[in-house]
Amino acid sequence: MAAEACGNPILAVGSVAFDSIKNPFGEANRVVGGSVTYFSLAASFFTDVRLVAVVGEDFADRGAAVFAGRRVDLAGLQTVPGETFRWKGEYGFDLNQRETIYTKLNVFEQFQPVIPESYRSSPFVFLGNIHPRLQLEVLDQVTAPRLVAADTMNYWIEGTPDELREVLKRVDILIINDSEARELSREANLVKAARVLKTMGPSTVVIKRGEHGVLMTASGDGEFSAAPALPLEEVFDPTGAGDTFAGGFVGYLAGCGDTSDASLARAIIYGSTLASFAVEDFSIDRLLRLTKGEIADRFRHFKRLTHFDEA
């Protein structure tokens, strides 16, 4: 990867959490999770990440431990009195279905994203899946970013639609999953859904379809890019796969500094590549021991998977 040579920093805001995960293969208790954690670990293979989030005093020096030696700046990680956001989820044998056992917002409930001065001119911004009001507050604190990517979820689509609409007007790339795309656009068909979502603001819509891959609008009228997911024999823990995808996707774009259609098409493969690793082990464990060589190998694997010559 030629990523290290250039590299535009990404300002990334989202949740840092303690996760507890149970599935048929085992259990992980109170491990580090959260959307911006997965995002940052993935993106930091390509460029510098400037993390903004909040944790409680119980988080202690876990952040330093997780991100040690990585291109992740923790100046924006606030520590406040109280407990860190906690989430517990349980998966059955169908790992596409998960049940949330509890969500305890804790310190996240009062989270006010404060963007450090040194972060404000970040050329790339990623708004993780948090309250749209907070996403707007982040945008109000940055100066003319070159590219803003955002995620959201059904909770905000249903609960705070007006604020979400305001966010979308200021977003270049929307990265959401298929059910969210359908709900937000009120279109069952994903092609129509993507077209509706583009009218809300984003110039590019990336729809994550889990084990069925990714669909992305391209700039040409009616043109799309599509990538299958890697056919995996064992999916161990899908927690964080979507955030990891976003990290690989935005990380690649920021690292190479090129947002052409050709670059976007590679970005969905880098996103898919990172996500395919994330699901191989519990929590962030596989990302922590991932190497650049493995990423390059798997990128080439994706090429063999999808390549065909013209006749």
- What residues line the site for a second copy (CB under 8 A)? 1-2, 93, 188-192, 209, 212-213, 215, 218, 223-228, 231-234, 256, 262, 265-266, 268-269, 299-300, 303-311
35 and 14 in contact (C-beta within 8 Å)? Answer: yes
Sign of CA dihedral 300, 303, 305, 311: negative
Token digits of residue 158: 């249903």
Q: How far is the CB of 184 from a second copy (least distance, A)?
A: 17
Least Å distance between CB 250 and a second copy?
15
Sequence length of the chain is 311
**CB 6 → a second copy: shortest distance, Å?**
12
Q: What is the DSSP letter of 219?
A: S
Q: Which of 243-264 are b and which e, b meaning 16 or more Cβ less than 10 Å from the residue's Cβ?
A: bbbbbbbbbbbbbbbebeeeeb
Closest by CA to 166, choosing from 191, 140, 144, is 140
Q: Which is nearer to a second copy, 27 or 223 (CB)?
A: 223
Question: Least CB distance from residue 70 to a second copy, whole Å?
Answer: 21
Closer to a second copy by Cβ: residue 32 or 279? 279
Closer CB to a second copy, residue 166 or residue 258? 258
Residue number, 167 or 290, with CB nearest to a second copy: 290
Q: Which is nearer to a second copy, 111 or 270 (CB)?
A: 270
Toward a second copy, which CB reaches closer, 197 or 268? 268
Q: Least distance from C-beta 177 to a second copy, angstroms? A: 14
Nearer to a second copy, 81 or 231 (CB): 231
Instruction: List 240's β-bridge partners, or say none.
Output: none
From the CB of 168, what's the least distance to a second copy, in Å?
A: 21
User: SS3 for 307?
Assistant: coil
53 backbone dihedrals φ, ψ, rounded to 5°: -165, 180
CA distance linking residue 141 with residue 121, whole number of Å: 9
DSSP assignment, residue 44? T
Is the separation of the CB atoms in 177 and 207 below 8 Å? yes
Structure tokens at 59: 């988080």
Q: What is the closest distance, in whole angstroms, from the C-beta atom of residue 118 to a second copy in the complex? A: 29
- Cβ 244 to a second copy, closest distance in Å? 19
Residue 12 or 269: which CB sits closer to a second copy?
269
CA gap 257, 174 in Å, rounded: 18
Residue showing tokens 């670059």: 263
